[in-house]
Amino acid sequence: MATALDFLVHRLPTPIGELLVVVDPEGRLRAVDWADYEDRLLGLLRTQYRGRGVQLHPAVGPGTVTATEAFASYFAGDLAAIDGLAVEFGGTEFQRNVWRALRLIPCGRTITYRMLAERAGRPTAIRAAGHANGSNPLSIVVPCHRVIGTDGTLTGYGGGIDRKRWLLKHEGVALKD
């Protein structure tokens, strides 16, 4: 087995729960998830970096501080604060295409799963795009919460629909009741 990957994790209180911010030693964001889904976060990291162990250590160092400060600013209302964060992820080529397409959705806007598949270069792979969306390790920064159903309804979000609703409202999206 290849050398284990060592990541730093910081726990940040937010209005909708404790957020886990995971960076590598160079300060690149590797994962973001909610503390009540920590097991899923670890599973996503292990899946992405197959054949390599993943070890999380308490946050120390400027890279983590930068990322957590950006998230704190985002939750305080500076929605663009997380836009410039450096990210790094594993996954398949298709997943990375989906995640890059997600990152291009402007704050305050939403798209459908069909549109996501088109933007990822595989217009007929709607379910696969949805699956890749659900496997996104970088919640909020790679904004999977901005993908909604064709009829405008809120559909799955790994952190729960209530968090998805909160994030979209926080970003100024007018939601159907």
* Active site members: 144
Q: Residue 174 gets which letter from DSSP?
A: P
Which residue intervals of the chain are DSSP H helices? 38-48, 62-75, 93-103, 113-119, 126-134, 161-170
d(CA 21, CA 40): 14
Please provide the DSSP assignment of 133-171 as one string: HHT-SBTTTS-GGGEE-TTS-----TT-HHHHHHHHHHT
Are the C-beta atoms of residues 5 and 88 closer than 8 Å to each other? Answer: no
